[in-house]
Homo-oligomer: A and B are copies of this chain.
Amino acid sequence: MKPAIDFYFDFSSPYSYIASEWIGAVAARHGRTVNWRAILLGATFQVSGLRPPAEFPMKREYLFRDVARSAAFAGVPLRMPEPFPIPTQNAARVFWWLKAQDPAQAVAWARAGLRAYFARGVNLSDAVALKALCAEAGLDAEAAEAAWNDPQWKLALKQANEQAIAAGVFGAPFVVVDGEPFWGNDRQAQIEAWLTAGPPRGLE
């Protein structure tokens, strides 16, 4: 059994959304599973000293165009939501709450949350909208709300952020294959090549 691929994502990251639509298939093609890990980029930005790309007007304009093009290129339905970005700690806490019970259900929630925000504009930072999305996803919405207000799952997310930072994660999506870090939706081809043939010559 080959080790799982780590997949770090933030519910407010459009490139994470695009990658979330292919990471499972890529892993499966190579006999791997995916260890999904919801994080908050806000936490990694604080430690790395980086700032969200959308805060820089020139980069923000490009980002919107590139996200739309990258989604179309990957065949993923996407409509940049307003507002963007949004705080996503509640959606992330629901993820970790679910993962402790049933990792497959956590993955289903991750995909549902990313799709809802980036394909339909569902504002995951709005408690009412988030509860409605939980119900739509077949979860107990009251229990989900209790979980995102529960110190236990707040702590679980905090620890997930700390683990990510310790692993060198400074952006999302961030994929780690057998210790090798890949940052960005645009590293799909390199991830595939690595899974197929291992390190390229000179990088063993």
* A binding-site residues for B, Cβ under 8 Å: 47-50, 56-59, 61-62, 65-66, 68-70, 72-73, 168, 170, 180-184, 186-187, 189-190, 193, 199-203
B202 in contact with A170 (CB, 8 Å) = no
Give this chain's copy count.
2
In the complex with contacts A62-B181, A62-B183, A181-B65, A190-B48 CB distance below 8 A: no
In the complex with contacts A48-B58, A48-B59, A50-B56, A69-B170 CB distance below 8 A: no
CA distance A57 to B48 in the complex (A): 7
Measured between beta carbons, the chain B residues less than 8 angstroms from A69 are 180, 190, 199-200, 203
A-side interface mostly: helix
CA distance A62 to B186 in the complex (A): 15
Minimum CB–CB distance from A176 to chain B (whole Å) comes to: 11
Measured between beta carbons, the chain B residues less than 8 angstroms from A201 are 72
Measured between beta carbons, the chain B residues less than 8 angstroms from A50 are 56, 58-59
B187 in contact with A186 (CB, 8 Å) = yes
Measured between beta carbons, the chain B residues less than 8 angstroms from A70 are 190
CA distance A65 to B202 in the complex (A): 12
B190 in contact with A189 (CB, 8 Å) = no
The answer, among B57, B193, B202, for a CB contact under 8 Å with A68, is B202
B190 in contact with A62 (CB, 8 Å) = no
Measured between beta carbons, the chain B residues less than 8 angstroms from A189 are 73, 189
Measured between beta carbons, the chain B residues less than 8 angstroms from A49 are 56
